[in-house]
């Protein structure tokens, strides 16, 4: 930015104070006169051809060839020997006039041809120099004096060259001479004025080239537009525009470098994130992650340490979990205390260490050809919310760039989160190994019960009993039966049995109406760990059209944490497409805490499962009724969307959603509105009122206001707005929904009534 500052602070010389050097002035002037000289070349040649044409009709070949060739030869000689000299242009002025004299001799002094003298003077004005007009005037004046002599003295020997004007008297010839003199004086005045303007124009052009350096600056601007920031630039002393362009080029170059830096970092994070999602084993994940990080930053060696805790004495120690190009492979997996070495320093300080001077006894990078000391080492803490779970050490023979270090610090957080998640999953798997035996026994019993289902369905009496059992089960089963329906890609619960009250503490209607979302009841820790694995199990079962079983924790209405067991399967249409889900959720808290009681309850649940399956058709009927109700609700919402103007605002007043009724009334498109502040279309006088209203809404208080707004075309309209804050389970403000009705017509009528009342009052008074 410094060049731009210096360029703007310098004083630019005024054009009136600018004085070009004689060399600059002469060069620029000669460039213009050279083009005029080229035009004179064509004029001389044409005049020679015209003389030959006249000779063809008048048979004056001696005059045409004699004078024409002599004039042409003299011109060509001086043209090649004295190009660019003032004397050459004086000669040109003389020769073009002599060609006119030649025509007069060929045409015996035809008076109308003498007008060519005036045309020649006018053509010579292109040189913008009155001195160049003088030779032409002198030649024409000499010819007129000769014609005056020939008229005055009839015995003159050359009188036959003026035969056409022999009848004219001397007075007429003198009048022509005086008229030609006046014309010469007029051309001299014009030439003087043109010369002054030409001189001023040359000075301005030299000033522009000197001060603005146009050609070089245009080239530099084109290079900047094409993205070339490394081209050479010929800088001049007073080139202030060039300095500004150079400053702009430097700023654009820095911006591109920063953009490339961010792209490189984000691309690396995306690649490593893909690796982090592929593995569930701690050691394999650590090895593959370290390998990809080393390759991406083009490092030479890498070590990955994880912190492990000993449950007995709560002591923490470091374990080398993964390494690359490390000579002491036997240290892998061995614990070591968090001491005063660099790795321990990173754990304690929770900050990155960048070593540029490596001690002689430091770890060496090994390969098949030998081992060598690294040039630089970077140690990055792997931390999640200021909790360090490990350290990644990366070494290189070259030097680390700043973007590589920034990338290592950012990816360290991603690696820490993934490792912590895998570590938690493995811990949960160890805790659930004891229940695997029970699961196997349950599966065997399930198979046995499935074989007996044919016998149960053989008689109508068994079906009736099963229906009775289902009715009893729906109210007495120690759990919750549910069905879900998928509509336009959205899942919603459309049936919940009465057991939901005992299981989660909420009425079934609160779940099916959407007032309480079942996903909000899942324990927050399970949402980040085991429930993600459960989602994968359910997805695989639905894809394979099999039964799924999952365990997780919930928090009921009384804030009691419970372990639940869920089992279910998908519902499919005739084409095999997934349209719904049905299952059973029950409390297994006591089973988890006491394995003996778990076994008994699981056997009882399996016995009840067959009864549940035999009555799923009735559940499907209930589900269809719920779908019809859902359709009615959707139609109601569409009707509301056609009447109400709906906006969703973030806590920082940014527009997150608008419906089509808003675009219809305000004339703004959805893309023009999203992300803008609430005040973008407010009347200026109403903005303090809106700020005050927003402070009330941030406290979670709903409000109703009549507000004025401006359409896109600037016209005013009125809205009656209902502002409804949305609070999450933790009491935090999530969003604010505004539902408004257009009351512009009502307000206009009120204003008309008010005006009429005022007018009536003024008349009465």
Express each pLDDT in 718-740 by its tens digit: 888 888 888 887 888 888 988 88
- Model's pTM, two decimal places? 0.34
DSSP letters, 614-680, are HTHHHHHHHHHHHHHHHHHHHHHHHHHHHHSEEEEE-TTSBEEEE-HHHHHHH---HHHHTT-BGGG
Longest dimension (CA), the chain: 161
Quick one: pLDDT at residue 1?
38
Residue 717 has pLDDT above 70, yes or no: yes
Residue 703 has pLDDT above 80, yes or no: yes
Other C-beta atoms lying within 10 Å of the C-beta of residue 423 = 16
Residue 5 has pLDDT above 50, yes or no: no
Other C-beta atoms lying within 10 Å of the C-beta of residue 451 = 8
Quick one: pLDDT at residue 149?
73
**Which residues face 495 on adjacent strands?**
483
265 close to 403: Cβ distance less than 8 angstroms: yes
Q: What pLDDT digit, counting tens, does each position of 593-611 carry?
A: 765 554 555 566 666 666 5
Task: Specify the 3-state DSSP secondary structure of 429.
Answer: helix
Sign, CA dihedral 177-183-189-192, equals negative
Q: What pLDDT digit, counting tens, does each position of 318-353 carry?
A: 888 888 888 787 788 788 888 778 888 888 888 888
174 close to 145: Cβ distance less than 8 angstroms: no
- C-beta contacts of 227-235 below 8 A and 24+ residues apart: 227/256, 229/253, 229/256
Residue 504 has pLDDT above 50, yes or no: yes
* Burial category of 157 from C-beta neighbours within 10 Å (exposed 0-12, middle 13-18, buried 19 and up): exposed
How far is it, in rounded angstroms, from Cα 415 to Cα 384?
9
Q: What pLDDT digit, counting tens, does each position of 393-452 carry?
A: 898 888 888 888 888 888 888 888 888 888 778 777 767 776 677 777 767 767 766 776
User: For residues 396-407, b (16+ Cβ closer than 10 Å) or e, as one string?
Assistant: beeebeebbbeb
The more confidently predicted of residues 634 and 102 is: 102
The more confidently predicted of residues 527 and 595 is: 527
Task: Specify the 3-state DSSP secondary structure of 701.
Answer: coil
DSSP letters, 76-94, are HHHHHHSTT-HHHHHHHHH
Q: Lowest-pLDDT range, 197-201, 471-475, 476-480? A: 471-475
Contacts for 579 with CB less than 8 Å, ≥ 6 apart = 485, 486, 571, 572, 573
Q: What pLDDT digit, counting tens, does each position of 280-310 carry?
A: 888 888 888 888 888 888 888 888 888 887 7
Computed over every residue of the chain, the mean pLDDT equals 78
How far is it, in rounded angstroms, from Cα 121 to Cα 127?
11
Q: Lowest-pLDDT range, 41-45, 155-159, 575-579, 688-692? A: 155-159
Quick one: pLDDT at residue 9?
43
Quick one: pLDDT at residue 643?
67
How far is it, in rounded angstroms, from Cα 78 to Cα 91?
8
Q: Lowest-pLDDT range, 4-13, 517-526, 607-616? A: 4-13
Quick one: pLDDT at residue 2?
38
């Amino acid at each position: 930015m410094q060049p731009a500052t210096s360029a703007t602070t310098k004083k630019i010389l005024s054009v009136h104070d600018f004085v070009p050097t004689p060399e600059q002035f002469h060069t620029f002037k000669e460039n213009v006169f050279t083009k005029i000289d080229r035009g004179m070349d064509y004029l001389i040649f044409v005049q020679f051809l015209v003389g030959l044409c006249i000779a063809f009709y008048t048979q004056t070949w001696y005059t045409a060839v004699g004078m024409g060739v002599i004039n042409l030869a003299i011109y060509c000689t001086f043209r090649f020997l004295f190009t660019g000299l003032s004397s050459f242009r004086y000669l040109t002025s003389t020769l073009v006039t002599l060609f006119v004299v030649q025509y007069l001799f060929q045409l015996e002094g035809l008076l109308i041809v003498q007008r060519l003298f005036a045309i020649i003077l006018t053509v010579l004005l292109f040189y913008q120099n009155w001195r160049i007009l003088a030779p032409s005037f002198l030649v024409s004046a000499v010819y007129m004096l000769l014609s005056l002599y020939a008229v005055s003295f009839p015995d003159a020997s050359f009188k036959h060259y003026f035969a056409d004007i022999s009848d004219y008297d001397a007075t007429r010839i003198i009048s022509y001479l005086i008229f030609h003199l006046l014309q010469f004086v007029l051309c001299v005045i014009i030439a003087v004025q043109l010369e002054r303007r030409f001189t001023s124009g040359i000075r301005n052009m030299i000033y522009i080239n000197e001060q603005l350096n146009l050609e070089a600056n245009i080239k530099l601007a084109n290079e900047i537009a094409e993205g070339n920031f490394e081209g050479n630039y010929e800088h001049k002393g007073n080139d202030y525009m060039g300095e500004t362009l150079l400053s702009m080029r430097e700023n654009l170059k820095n911006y591109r470098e920063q953009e490339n830096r961010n792209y490189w970092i984000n691309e690396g994070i995306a690649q490593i994130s893909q690796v982090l999602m592929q593995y569930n084993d701690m050691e394999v994940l650590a090895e593959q992650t370290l390998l990809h990080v080393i390759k991406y930053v083009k490092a030479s060696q890498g070590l990955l340490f994880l912190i492990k805790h000993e449950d007995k004495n709560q002591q923490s120690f470091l374990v080398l979990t993964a390494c690359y190009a490390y000579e002491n492979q036997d240290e892998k997996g061995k614990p070591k205390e968090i001491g005063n070495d660099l790795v321990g320093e990173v754990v304690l300080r929770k900050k990155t260490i960048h070593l540029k001077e490596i001690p002689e006894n430091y770890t060496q990078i090994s390969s098949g050809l030998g081992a060598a000391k690294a040039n630089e080492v970077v140690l990055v803490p792997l931390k999640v919310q200021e909790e360090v779970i490990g350290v990644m050490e990366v070494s290189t023979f070259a030097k680390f760039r700043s973007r590589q270090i920034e990338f290592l610090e950012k990816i360290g957080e991603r690696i820490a989160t993934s490792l912590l998640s895998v570590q938690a999953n493995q811990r949960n798997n160890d805790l659930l190994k004891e229940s695997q035996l029970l699961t196997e026994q349950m599966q065997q019993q399930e198979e046995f019960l499935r074989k007996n289902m044919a016998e149960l369905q053989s008689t109508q009496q068994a079906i009736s009993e099963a229906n009775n059992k289902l009715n009893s089960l729906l109210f007495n089963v120690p759990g919750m039966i549910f069905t879900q329906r998928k509509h336009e890609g959205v899942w919603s619960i459309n049936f919940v049995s009465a057991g939901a009250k005992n299981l989660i503490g909420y009425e079934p209607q609160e779940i099916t109406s959407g007032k309480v979302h079942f996903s909000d009841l899942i324990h927050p820790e399970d949402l980040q760990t085991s429930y993600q694995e459960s989602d994968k199990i359910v997805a695989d079962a639905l894809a394979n059209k099999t039964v799924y079983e999952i365990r997780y924790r919930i928090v009921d209405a009384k804030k009691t944490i419970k372990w639940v067991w869920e089992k279910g399967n998908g519902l499919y249409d005739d084409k095999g497409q997934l349209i719904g889900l049905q299952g059973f959720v029950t409390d297994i808290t006591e089973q988890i805490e006491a394995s003996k009681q778990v076994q008994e309850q699981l056997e009882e649940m399996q016995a009840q499962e067959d009864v549940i399956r035999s009555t799923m058709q009735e559940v499907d009927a209930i589900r269809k009724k719920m779908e019809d109700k859902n359709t009615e609700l959707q139609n109601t919402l569409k009707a509301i969307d056609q009447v109400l103007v709906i906006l969703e605002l973030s806590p920082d007043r940014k527009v997150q959603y608008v419906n089509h009724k808003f675009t219809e009334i305000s004339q703004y498109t959805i893309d023009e509105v999203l992300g803008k502040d609430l005040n973008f279309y407010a009347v200026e006088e109403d903005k303090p009122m809106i700020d005050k209203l927003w402070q009330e809404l941030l406290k979670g208080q709903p409000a109703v206001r009549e507000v004025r707004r401006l359409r896109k075309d600037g016209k005013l309209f009125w809205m009656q707005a209902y502002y409804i804050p949305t609070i999450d389970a933790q009491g935090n403000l999530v969003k604010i929904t505004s539902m408004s009705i257009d009351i512009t017509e009502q307000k206009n009528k009120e204003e008309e009534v008010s005006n009429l009342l005022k007018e009536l009052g003024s008349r009465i008074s």
